[in-house]
Chains A and B, each alone.
Chain A
């Protein structure tokens, strides 16, 4: 048996196919790393694009501010030009760009309204002008903390107003709504205080994004504060969990001052998402041809008159497919690590993987290399089953083209099948392989896509499908008459 396996391995490695695939993989990984390096120019806002100002100015020249039907457009374009001019001055990667685009438009609108229409009093205009001029000075001075403090003051007074409102209201629905508003304001205040405390300006950066993400996800969580989590429907629960995970992770990044912006680390940590297709190509091409090729070339006769029964020959070939699978995974793992490190730098590789555990509702640290290995291990059932499918088609139909294309169709269709079942609420889907063969959904207390799924259940289903395919292979291969070739 060992001799048979050795021979089959030799046959695979004597063929050009595997080397061509290897070169394609190497090329793809290198290219991915290089493209990331070339296209990555750091974090950036996209408030301003070349040519925007000219566009709005040309629009403005066609509009008449004295015509009431055209005035709203005029006012809007006028404000846009002002904002864009300022943004252009400081650039898309400055903290000023954020303030200009989020805080200043209000003042500018008031000023434009005063100038062209009668809806604004002199007093309002003066106030807006004063704030605007002060903001411009602070922008010029580079004092972002002024705006953070201003936001804190604003939210504080806002909270007070809401609380006063709360005491005068008796309608329960309104009370709930006000409470939620207050909670959201508290979160906003919290993020601004973090900015000051951790020195995270509005300039685009990993932590700036983390703060924004934290705000979005934490406010989403507030919507669920009055509901009982246990009673949520499956799809709602997954929204809730997603928000909980993101809020917790981003909070962790902010509190511990962790920036996960290393490109090589990001490519590595998502190794099996990025390069899964290539792992499958190698395995499916090898498994899909390992039997049919021998039939098509007539060499099967040579093999079958050797003193090994057919079952041994069949299994030695399947074992070789599994060896090729593990070699491919190992190769991609090591190669991305090295190529990514050399092209994009090794920094960030020492940082642990940070995950959210739904069982304990806590953020956990895991060794980066172990984490990537674990995600691969969880994908293994899918890889093995698709390899076995290619192998089975190869044995049953002795047609390489068919044996290679069927598993790929299965791979592409798998998520469609799951979504279809989800949409039409087909409960029987849990006995099919597609919801079961990726175990990543069970990691760290995650919730599977369908009710009734669990880790042992999924493993059993995968094993059953594998055994069915292999038994079928054995029966067909053992009984097959070797026809004239």
Chain B
């Protein structure tokens, strides 16, 4: 396995006496896109701020590209691009001036790179307008532009889909996939909306009340969540349930839900037919990824 670009180990953070992060560990390698999911107030932004050195770490470690963020900030942060919360840019300047300012702070970012990035995020036509005249979506794009200007190998985006229309989300998704694949960037995206991320993340971490409750590959989660639920429409659900036994539930008079392996379904059908129960339809009940996660996180209480 490749060396991790980002490694968080057992992060703790207290605010006053309240523990807002407990034992948070994350790991990202080149090409990873990690969806960092959790309800509002779960600690997503705080984790990101700890990673970026914006807040003091209570205990634990953040290692970026082999450098400890607390001990060697300048080296650790050198190849990181980020948008935290809203893309806060200098409103009184044009988009181009904003990028020019950022470029001054990194070696090897020239005019050519700036125009390349502008093209990449699709802001060519409005780049000389003042940022105060931009829509939120355009500001998000400019935010992404300033984050990737210096060719970072770790990109951290906090709720980047806020304020974007479906078209914008699609563009952003394509851009991020391209960056991860072509430039080998590791990307961390936080969101409270899993549906937006499921199509392109390859890893997911779920945080709830400051604790990571689940970290896994997206494919595994999907499989787990959608496996083995079937709904059968019958004429008498009570009778059907008695026939099948424990692994079924009556939903109403005409529907039962069966939890079973796929291989087992033909036998169940056979049983029902033999008992002279009429079967109108059978369908696989695919619960959404989101529902699956909500099952796991069990909702969030902000306290």
Residues of chain A whose beta carbon lies under 8 Å from any beta carbon of chain B: 3-4, 6-7, 10-11, 14-16, 297-299, 301-302, 304-309, 479, 481-482, 484-485
Top-4 shortest CB links A-B: A298-B88, A482-B54, A481-B55, A307-B78
Residues B55-95 near A (CB distance < 8 A): 55-56, 73-75, 77-78, 80, 82, 84-86, 88-93
Contact A7 B92 (CB under 8 A): no
Assembly CA distance A14 to B96 (angstroms): 13
The interface residues of chain B lying within 8 Å CB-to-CB of A10 are 97, 101
Assembly CA distance A299 to B90 (angstroms): 7
Contact B91 A297 (CB under 8 A): yes
**A442, chain B: closest CB distance, angstroms:** 43
Assembly CA distance A302 to B104 (angstroms): 13
Scan B24-55; emit 1 where CB is below 8 A from any A CB, else 0. 00000000000000000000010001001111
A-B contact pairs, 14 of them (CB 8 A): A7-B105, A11-B90, A11-B101, A16-B92, A298-B88, A301-B85, A305-B53, A305-B54, A305-B80, A306-B105, A307-B77, A309-B74, A481-B49, A481-B55
**A242, chain B: closest CB distance, angstroms:** 51
B294 within 8 A of partner (CB) = no
**A313, chain B: closest CB distance, angstroms:** 10
Most chain A CB neighbours (cut-off 10 Å) among B45, B88, B93, B146: B88
The interface residues of chain A lying within 8 Å CB-to-CB of B146 are 302
Contact B56 A481 (CB under 8 A): yes
Contact B105 A4 (CB under 8 A): yes
In the complex, what residue of chain B is closest to A302 when comparing beta carbons? B88
Contact B105 A308 (CB under 8 A): yes
Contact A14 B92 (CB under 8 A): yes
Assembly CA distance A16 to B85 (angstroms): 27
Contact of A307 among B54, B55, B85, B105 (CB under 8 A): B105
Assembly CA distance A298 to B52 (angstroms): 15
Contact A481 B54 (CB under 8 A): yes
Contact of A15 among B74, B84, B92, B102 (CB under 8 A): B92
In the complex, what residue of chain A is closest to B130 when comparing beta carbons? A14
Contact of B104 among A7, A305, A484 (CB under 8 A): A7
The interface residues of chain A lying within 8 Å CB-to-CB of B74 are 307-309
Contact B77 A305 (CB under 8 A): yes
B106 within 8 A of partner (CB) = yes
Contact A484 B45 (CB under 8 A): yes
**A319, chain B: closest CB distance, angstroms:** 16
Contact of B90 among A4, A6, A14, A306 (CB under 8 A): A14
In the complex, what residue of chain B is closest to A478 when comparing beta carbons? B56
In the complex, what residue of chain B is closest to A306 when comparing beta carbons? B105
Contact A485 B105 (CB under 8 A): no
Assembly CA distance A481 to B93 (angstroms): 27
Assembly CA distance A304 to B55 (angstroms): 11
In the complex, what residue of chain A is closest to B97 when comparing beta carbons? A14
The interface residues of chain A lying within 8 Å CB-to-CB of B82 are 305
Assembly CA distance A298 to B53 (angstroms): 16
In the complex, what residue of chain B is closest to A303 when comparing beta carbons? B105
**B106, chain A: closest CB distance, angstroms:** 7
In the complex, what residue of chain A is closest to B74 when comparing beta carbons? A307
The interface residues of chain B lying within 8 Å CB-to-CB of A308 are 74, 105
The interface residues of chain A lying within 8 Å CB-to-CB of B85 are 298, 301, 484-485
Most chain B CB neighbours (cut-off 10 Å) among A3, A302, A309: A302
Contact B88 A3 (CB under 8 A): no
Assembly CA distance A41 to B208 (angstroms): 81
The interface residues of chain A lying within 8 Å CB-to-CB of B104 are 3, 6-7
In the complex, what residue of chain B is closest to A8 when comparing beta carbons? B101
Contact A3 B105 (CB under 8 A): yes
**B60, chain A: closest CB distance, angstroms:** 16
In the complex, what residue of chain B is closest to A14 when comparing beta carbons? B93
Known: A11-B101, A481-B55. A306 touches B89 (CB 8 A): no
**B157, chain A: closest CB distance, angstroms:** 12
